[in-house]
Structure 1
Amino acid sequence: MSFLVPAVLLPCDPFAAKTLTPIDHSTKEKSFNEFKIKFLKILKSKDRKALEEVIDKDIHFSFGGEAGKKDFLKTFQLTEKPSASNFWELMEETIKLGFRQNNEGQMVAPYFFETFPGDYDPFTHYLVIGKNVNVREDATKESKSITQLSYQIVRAEADDLDGRRLEKESNCNWKKICTPQGKPGYVCDRFLRSPLDYRAFFEKKKNNWYLTIFIVGD
């Protein structure tokens, strides 16, 4: 007679805990705060014409040969069918995470991009982007929560089913992670963000703010 043995998550290697508390410098600069309000309206209405006016002519958006406003609009399919472009959602998800003003005066979103510690490999670590986010025993919202994390760095763990743990009920693609305390578990991908995911840089030129960088990867 054979018995089904429940899967056991073996401990993972602990590492130094690091919390990147949310900040948002966008309100401390009056002109940028006014620009941000206008920019959010552009995103919500998917107004391509208004968007073009705030894109820098030399915008950097690729590690390849493409550059400049014309290539940017083409790459994000904003030329022919702007309403169907994924740009609007990608940008909104990026800037809702908050801005940090860097030493050059640029406003950068998400807030943690330039402060993500260099001793954490950006290819294998995420930031938990939420408060009291559940880390579960299994890849389902019905599973027991083993701990909760708020804005902490976690490490991705090897998972044979990575990218295929989609649960329709919770709209989650469950990612296997390791907490700083060495506890393995699963977190809904909507609450994880890689430092190499999309980031946006805005720069003030001749009294006007422009989107100068919008890029993903390394």
Structure 2
Amino acid sequence: MIQTRQLFAALLILGSLSLTGSLADAAERKALPVDEASQVQGFETYRSDLLKAIARRDVEAVVASAAPDIELSFGGDAGHDALRSFLTVSEDDLADEYKDQAAGMREGYWDALEEVLRLGGKADGPDAFDVPYTWTVELGENDDPFTTYFVIDRDVPMRDRPNRHGAVEKVLAYDIVEVIDGGEGTSFHKVRLETGETGFVDKVHLRSAIDYRARFERRPEGWKMVFFLAGD
């Protein structure tokens, strides 16, 4: 189970940098966590119920929370049947070389859905809501979405080498960084800050700009998830 992140504790100490404003001129670029669920009628209750359904792995409740035409990929996967198949993928659904990955794929999908909900988001008018908050950040014209990442916690050590014993060179909090080395074989990414400083950050504290995101809309029958996608 993904634990609820401490999204709001740093708001007072990180100042007044706007999440949606221009970030290009900041010496250290930040994307402060935000959650406007309470500002949109009915969404907070809908999200709470959906999180409970995810926690108990209630496939049909999650499917019912989605629009019949929900978009699930850029390759044409859409609709309730496709969502159900992603939530229940088994060895029988996969080619022989991938059968041993079925459990990981299935749980990864559930976890990704839970995390985007728990990270909070922003209202887009009274009838739409986007998650996670990182997806609502407007990137600069020079930002590559494939290498732009968000530090989604506070008090995150940036180390001089890619392991937990490395010396802490800087402590990050909700920074926007560029990943310059994927750290294959380690749990760390090498990142570069807006200031030019580089170091290694544990991947658990980072989120890609093109990671999973979801949109919800209020329809006549209530709130519905209308897409759940990753990639660009």
Q: Same fold (TM over 0.5)?
A: yes
Q: CA deviation at 1:158?
A: 3.6
In 2, the alpha carbon distance for the partners of 1:93 and 1:31 equals 20
1:38 alignment counterpart: 49
Change (3 A) 1:102 1:74: same
User: Which is richer in helix?
Assistant: 2
Q: CA deviation at 1:103?
A: 4.2
2:201 alignment counterpart: 187
Are the counterparts in 2 of residues 128 and 192 from structure 1 also a CA contact under 8 Å? yes
Q: CA deviation at 1:121?
A: 1.4
Alignment of 1:137-156 (within 5 A): 137-156=160-179
Cα deviation code 1:39-94 (max 9, x no counterpart): 1110111111211211110001111122211122223436999xx52222111111
Quick one: which of 161, 164, 168 aligns to 2:185?
164
Gaps of 5+ in 1: 1-14, 166-172
Gaps of 5+ in 2: 1-25, 93-102
The answer as to 2:105 corresponding to 1:105 is no
Q: CA deviation at 1:215?
A: 0.3
1:175 alignment counterpart: 189
In 1, the alpha carbon distance for the partners of 2:75 and 2:27 equals 35
* Structure showing greater Rg: 1
Are the counterparts in 2 of residues 126 and 153 from structure 1 also a CA contact under 8 Å? yes
SS of equivalent residue, structure 1 residue 157: strand
Are the counterparts in 2 of residues 48 and 78 from structure 1 also a CA contact under 8 Å? no
Alignment of 1:1-218 (within 5 A): 17-77=28-88, 84=103, 85-86=106-107, 87-103=109-125, 105-119=127-141, 120-158=143-181, 162-165=183-186, 173-218=187-232
Q: TM-score, normalised by structure 2?
A: 0.77
- Further displaced range: 96-105 or 192-201: 96-105
